[in-house]
A and B are shown apart, each in its own frame.
Chain A
Amino acid sequence: MKKNVSWLAVAFWLVLIAFFAWDWVASDPVNVRQEPPLIAAGSGQAPSGGHCASTF
């Protein structure tokens, strides 16, 4: 059982890392010149991320 669980954990992390690597390569490059301010509060910029509570 322990051996099976270990293989499952290895597969889980490998698939996750593969997904993130594929996504990084396939997505638009990050423009670091448009980096958001470190702290949103007081930045004067409205939040622009997606959230599970929003309908859009």
Chain B
Amino acid sequence: MTRLPLAAVLAAFFLALAWFVSLRQAVLFLVGIGMGSVLAGARFGFTTGWRRLIEQRDPSGVMAQLLLLAAAAAVSMPLLAAFPTDLGAALGPPSISLLVGAFVFGAAMQVADGCGSGTLYKAGMGVPLNMTILPVFALGSFLGSAQLEQWLQLGAIRPVSLVATFGPWEAFGLTCAGLLLLGLAARAWVGKGASWFNRRLFIGAILLAVLAILNLLIAGQPWGVVYGFGLWAAKVATAAGLFDPAANAFWSQPVNLANLSRSVFTDVTSITNIGILGGAFLIAAGRSSAAAQRAPLTARQWMVGIIAGFVLGYSSRLAFGCNIGAMVSGISTGSVHGWIWVPLAFCGSLIGVRIRRHYAF
């Protein structure tokens, strides 16, 4: 498929959203297309960046991610302070659930070769494993959210906002100091002589930061991915009579009940997810098949990958987000849970790359 007909389809969907849903959702769809285009065009993989740091001592991907976090925080934190009632941060509670979820997510994302955004954009590009993983990711995300209350009962404290606690510029200073420490740790791990600058990834980081800020400004909430997946599966389970949302602690909350009865086109996270799929498809269109360049997976690799995809979805809900919802949005909007998520997920990734190697992915 060439890009022109696909661009026409996306443009028609944009117009339909503007006419039948709302201009805000239509514009957020464009933001999602931008995210998908940048992720796919710059091959900005959070999972791959971490794996290259661990296995090849290549810090360029991680450095670009740190730049993304700093750039997004530089604008998001003052915005949150300027519009405290209109804009919300990605505040997750430090909890047992977060510790377990982030660690398991970090391991699973290496096996499944994609985090939340990675699974989306690779599915959009036609990578077979990621296309297959998407539905089980959604199922896992739904089940994780349905059992979130039980996980929270194991121990949790209230979310901590650096912006509300210290003020926007102090929070930004603390965030930069934390990112600098992470950067120095990465440099210490790879040693001298490693190239930390990758122009393509750095441009991707700046563009993603701009799009994340636009998401916050337009939607009033930070960029997220996995809530949308869980919502899609919850709708199917509810319609099939397999799930009663009114009897569930998470899905009986007014926000979630309302989302279950409304079209997914009215949901902020869903619409950017659809945009990411479309944007990645647009980039892949006209290129030689991304899948054809990869060796076919064995039956065992398929099974392991699909299980990892389910675990990815489940753990992302326990962790209050994936690399996007918890790391990018959490840290850039001053949530302490983002700072707990990163080291736990990285420790999980240390295990995950070994599992990946064991199954010869």
Contact = CB atoms under 8 A, between A and B. Distances in A.
Interface of A: 1-2, 5-6, 8-9, 12, 15-16, 19-20, 23-24, 26-28, 30, 32, 35-56
A8 B93 CA distance: 39
A30 B20 contact: yes
B181 interface: no
Contacts of A50: 227, 231, 255-256, 259, 267-269
Contact of A52 (B27, B132, B227, B265): B227
**Interface of B (DSSP majority class):** helix
Given A32-B20, A40-B86, A5 B220 contact: no
Nearest to A37: B24
Nearest to A40: B220
Contact of A53 (B123, B236, B255, B329): B329
B86 A24 contact: no
B123 A44 contact: no
Interface of B: 20-24, 27, 79, 82-83, 85-88, 90-93, 123, 126, 128, 131-132, 134-135, 148, 152, 159, 216-222, 224-227, 230-232, 235-236, 239, 250, 253, 255-256, 259, 261-269, 274, 277, 289, 291-292, 296, 316-317, 320-322, 325-326, 329-330, 335, 337
Contacts of B255: 48-50, 56
B86 A52 contact: no
**Most chain B CB neighbours (cut-off 10 Å) among A5, A30, A32, A50:** A50
Contacts of B325: 51-53
11 contacts: A2-B289, A2-B291, A20-B265, A27-B264, A40-B219, A41-B216, A41-B220, A53-B91, A55-B92, A56-B250, A56-B256
**Most chain B CB neighbours (cut-off 10 Å) among A9, A51, A52:** A52
A35 B218 CA distance: 13
**Interface of A (DSSP majority class):** loop
B322 A52 contact: yes
B195 to A, nearest CB: 34
Contact of A40 (B132, B217, B224): B217
Given A32-B22, A56-B253, A56-B256, A42 B131 contact: no
Contacts of A43: 86, 220
Given A47-B88, A51-B227, A24 B263 contact: yes
Given A53-B330, A53-B335, A28 B88 contact: no
A23 B264 contact: yes
A37 B86 CA distance: 11
Given A35-B24, A56-B256, A51 B269 contact: yes
Contacts of A41: 79, 82-83, 86-87, 216-217, 220
B148 A55 contact: yes
A40 B220 CA distance: 5
Contact of B235 (A23, A44, A45): A23
A19 B320 contact: no
A5 B261 contact: no
A46 B326 contact: no
Nearest to B341: A53
B131 A8 contact: yes
B87 A54 contact: no
Contacts of A6: 289
Contact of A30 (B87, B217, B224, B266): B266
B24 A23 contact: no
A12 B131 contact: yes
A53 B221 CA distance: 10
Contacts of A56: 250, 253, 255-256
Contacts of A1: 291-292, 296
